[in-house]
């Protein structure tokens, strides 16, 4: 049964207490993300997508400008920032108070998005591995940081799926070392993400899901991002486009195992899952 516990994060001086699981809506300002339905590349499409996410109840908008799909084109930091800026502007036109997360592994891009454009959170798929300056950057800016587990790069990560003590134990240990480093740098607001699909086999992904409660031992907010990923459609023999039902099943399982944030393409369905799980467990009201 659900192990959800309230947590607080500091968003630009506002200490926000999270009394129920949050939903993070994905806004990809890219032409090549793995799920075509999440791509928004011209300004009108970006604005429509941002409005849809907020109207459906997203608590956070996670803007990505660099596709982490294996085989995706590499782009320069300036191009990535330009895409992110377009997304930030679109969201701010709809809501000045919306909480904006920036999906980037580059420290310089993170600094520009936070300091120049007013974004609120940094979501780093590499957990600081791809840019050694990222941890210092987020510590300097005192912004909430999503620390995700990954090995290698998006192109090589599936070559790094060997876990000596089991995937759950090793992922927790590797994340624990990074958490300690971030704490030493003075960062307070850390959100952890086990990194489903990143340097994990399908079987390891489901093992992580079954053991998700063990991550609560780190005493940090737990983000789960499994939306339309290959762990669903390869198991069911479908496609990303046909994986909404599987996504909802896994989101429900994640909530029942203590997830505090769901990162999703389909906000309305995730909000429904949060409401229903809350009604079942009685731990929170939406």
Which residues have CB under 8 Å from 278's CB, separation 6+? 20, 284, 285, 286
Give dist(CA 11, CA 132) in Å, integer. 24
- Residue from 49, 263, 275, 285 carrying the catalytic annotation: 263
- Distance (Å, whole) CA 80 – CA 74: 10
Specify whether the CB–CB gap between 135 and 122 falls below 8 A.
no
d(CA 61, CA 71): 25
DSSP state string for 133-183: THHHHHHHHT--EEEE---S-TTTGGG----TT-HHHHHHHHHHHHHHHHH
Residue pair 24/264 in contact by the 8 Å Cβ criterion: yes
Question: Is 229 among the catalytic positions?
Answer: yes
* b/e 98-110 (16+ beta carbons within 10 angstroms → b): bbbbbbbbbbbbb
Task: Write down the catalytic residue from 229, 234, 275, 285.
Answer: 229
Pair 24, 60: CB distance under 8 Å: yes
93 catalytically annotated: no
Query: Which of 8, 44, 6, 28 minimizes the C-alpha distance to 240?
Result: 28
**Which residues does the annotation mark as catalytic?**
229, 263
């Amino acid at each position: 049964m659900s192990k959800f516990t309230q947590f607080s994060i500091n968003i630009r001086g506002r200490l926000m207490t999270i009394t129920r699981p949050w939903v993070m809506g994905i806004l990809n300002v890219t032409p090549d993300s793995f799920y075509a339905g999440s791509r928004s590349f011209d300004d009108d499409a970006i604005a429509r997508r941002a409005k849809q996410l907020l109207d459906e109840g997203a608590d956070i908008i996670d803007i990505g400008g660099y596709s982490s799909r294996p085989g995706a084109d590499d782009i320069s930091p300036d191009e990535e920032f330009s895409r992110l800026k377009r997304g930030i502007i679109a969201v701010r036109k709809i809501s000045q108070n919306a909480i904006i997360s920036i999906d980037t592994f580059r420290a310089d891009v993170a600094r520009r998005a936070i300091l120049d454009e007013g974004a609120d959170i940094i979501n780093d798929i590499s957990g600081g591995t791809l840019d050694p300056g990222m941890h210092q950057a987020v510590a300097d800016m005192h912004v909430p940081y999503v620390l995700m587990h990954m090995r290698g790069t998006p192109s090589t990560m599936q070559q790094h799926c060997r876990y000596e003590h089991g995937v759950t134990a090793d992922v927790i240990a590797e994340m624990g070392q990074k958490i300690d480093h971030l704490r030493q740098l003075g960062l307070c607001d850390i959100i952890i993400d086990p990194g489903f699909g990143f340097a994990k086999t399908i079987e390891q992904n489901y093992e992580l899901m079954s053991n998700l409660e063990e991550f609560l031992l780190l005493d940090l907010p737990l983000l789960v991002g499994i939306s339309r990923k290959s762990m669903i459609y390869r198991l069911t023999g479908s496609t990303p486009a046909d994986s909404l039902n599987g996504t909802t099943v896994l989101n429900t399982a994640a909530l029942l195992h203590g997830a505090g944030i769901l990162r999703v393409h389909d906000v309305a369905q995730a909000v429904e899952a949060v409401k229903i799980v809350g009604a079942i467990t009685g731990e929170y009201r939406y």
